[in-house]
Structure 1
Amino acid sequence: MLRRRRWIPWLRRLPLKEANSEEREKPKLKLYSYWMSSCAWRVRIALNLKGLDYEYKTVNLLKGDHFSDEFQKLNPLGYVPVLVDEDIVTADSFAIIMYLEEKYPQHSLLPQNLQKRAINYQAANIVASNIQPFQNLAVAKYIEEKLGSDERLSWVQHHIKKGFAALEKLLAEHTGKYATGDEVALADLFLAPQIAGAVKRFNINMAEFPLLEKLNGAYSELPAFQSAEPGKQPDAPDNTKS
């Protein structure tokens, strides 16, 4: 005679995750970064604002880690940052931030107002295309080798000031507490690292750029910006000392 299976009440109450032992936790995002990179800094701010947990993967540019075969597979150009989200690999800070904006819409970085959105794109592009490349480590090193260290600093300062002057004019009628209003948006992620680097690394006098100086003060009060600062990263020199 067949015996009826006994119904076990507690079995039905088990959460699906406990009942299915094969289900695995979704892997963390991986950010390939260098502590001093302003491009990686932008992405760290975006990740913080969106509340996304990630694994920090150090790429030491001074030691040439970016020339390794392993890293070149992620980004053939050999630049940081690179974001790995499961099987999706994205390089370039602008592309990464836009990817995060589309996949993780919490704390949107793009205003609904089309004009403000366009201003954000323009401001971010001024930093990414017309300032940062001229102070890039490889470019600055080349200028120093050809013309000397004094010319290197002069070269970088010239391009920073040119870009900052353009930003002052572009943002003049759009700023609130932040670059394009009272909410943090895309432009702010690009401005914060650029302004901080201009002051600390390239001796730019921000008195010439009062609007940007005001914004810099506002950024310094935001936790998402503070924790993304270079000195607080795992590979910063003070953090790597034994």
Structure 2
Amino acid sequence: MKLYSYHRSSAAYRVRIALNLKKVAHTIVPVNLLAGEHTQAPYTNKQPQGLVPCLETDNGQFLSQSGAMLQYIEALYPQPQLQPNDAFEAAQVRSMIDLIACDIHPLDNLRVLKYLTQTLNVSDDDKMTWYFHWINKGFNALESQLKATPYSLGEKVSLVDVYLVPQVYNALRFKLDMTPYPNILAIYNNCSKLAAFDNAKPESQIDFK
């Protein structure tokens, strides 16, 4: 497999973690967002939205959207299992990862923040107020649902951790006060000790600048 990735993309970070956890042989292909490579052919021939990540399968097919990639990887490589078998528990996991992927990340990602400042002329201070507002609302809802013993659902790493860690990384990067979120921060620190997470972090990528 090939994962077209940008080191600080939260969505790409998720997929890197899952590939590492499942020990899937893959190659990381850096896509330079700062140089606009994601908006130009040949990349847009692979990912028509011009977003990262993009997953190229072993047989040369392409997938966009990190959730679809994670579902595909889980189906092909079921161990270690990242999704519970129980239908209700699996739905709970979906609820938490959707909170991150649908309610926090899209409102705080790079293209939205750039649109606020470059198109709507929002000040940098107001941009950060926007950022902190949406991540605090999401983290407030997540904090009470997480176990932190030592991971989001207990003793085993799950998809919740795969989604949560990149979001916390960004929150720390933007200096969000994590004091109200001891469970979230503990999970982040516990996951960060695992090689699969450490090797997926932005600083470990060859395109890190």
TM-score by length of 1: 0.82
Cross-structure match for 1:188: 161
Partner of 1:208, secondary structure, is coil
Cross-structure match for 2:110: 137
Partner of 1:63, secondary structure, is coil
Q: Does 1:224 align with 2:200?
A: no
- Mapped contact 1:116–1:180 kept (Cα < 8 A): no
Runs of 4 or more consecutive aligned structure 1 residues displaced over 3 Å after TM superposition: none
How many angstroms does 1:114 deviate by? Answer: 2.6
> In structure 2, do the counterparts of structure 1 residues 215 and 175 end up closer, same or farther at CA, with 3 Å as the change threshold?
closer
Provide, for residues 69-92 of structure 1, a one-character-per-residue CA deviation record: whole Å limited to 9, x for no partner: 211111111110111112321111
Cross-structure match for 2:14: 42
Partner of 1:119, secondary structure, is helix
Report matched runs for 1:55-204 at 5 Å.
55-85=27-57, 86-145=59-118, 146-169=121-144, 171-172=145-146, 175-200=148-173, 202-204=174-176
| Structure 2 residue identity aligned to 1:163 | G
Cross-structure match for 1:14: none
Task: Give the root-mean-square deviation of aligned CA atoms.
Answer: 1.2
**Which is greater in Rg?**
1
How many angstroms does 1:180 deviate by? Answer: 1.3
| Structure 2 residue identity aligned to 1:71 | Y
Provide, for residues 121-167 of structure 1, a one-character-per-residue CA deviation record: whole Å limited to 9, x for no partner: 11111111111111111110111232111111111111110110111
- Mapped contact 1:143–1:151 kept (Cα < 8 A): no
2:187 to 193, 209, 215: 215
| Structure 1 residue identity aligned to 2:40 | S
Q: Give the Cα–Cα distance (whole angstroms) in 1 for the partners of residues 94 and 150 of structure 2.
A: 18
Q: Give the Cα–Cα distance (whole angstroms) in 2 for the partners of residues 82 and 72 of structure 1.
A: 10
| Structure 1 residue identity aligned to 2:77 | Y
| Structure 1 residue identity aligned to 2:51 | Y
Provide, for residues 66-119 of structure 1, a one-character-per-residue CA deviation record: whole Å limited to 9, x for no partner: 111211111111110111112321111111000000112221111123332122
Partner of 1:69, secondary structure, is coil
TM-score by length of 2: 0.94
Q: Which moved more, 1:184-193 or 1:139-148?
A: 139-148
Partner of 1:177, secondary structure, is coil
- Mapped contact 2:152–2:160 kept (Cα < 8 A): yes
Q: Give the Cα–Cα distance (whole angstroms) in 2 for the partners of residues 94 and 181 of structure 1.
A: 22
| Structure 1 residue identity aligned to 2:164 | L
- Mapped contact 1:119–1:180 kept (Cα < 8 A): no
How many angstroms does 1:235 deviate by? Answer: 0.5
Q: State how many pairs are aligned.
A: 206
- Mapped contact 1:32–1:59 kept (Cα < 8 A): yes
How many angstroms does 1:216 deviate by? Answer: 1.1
| Structure 2 residue identity aligned to 1:191 | L
| Structure 2 residue identity aligned to 1:74 | K
Partner of 1:83, secondary structure, is strand
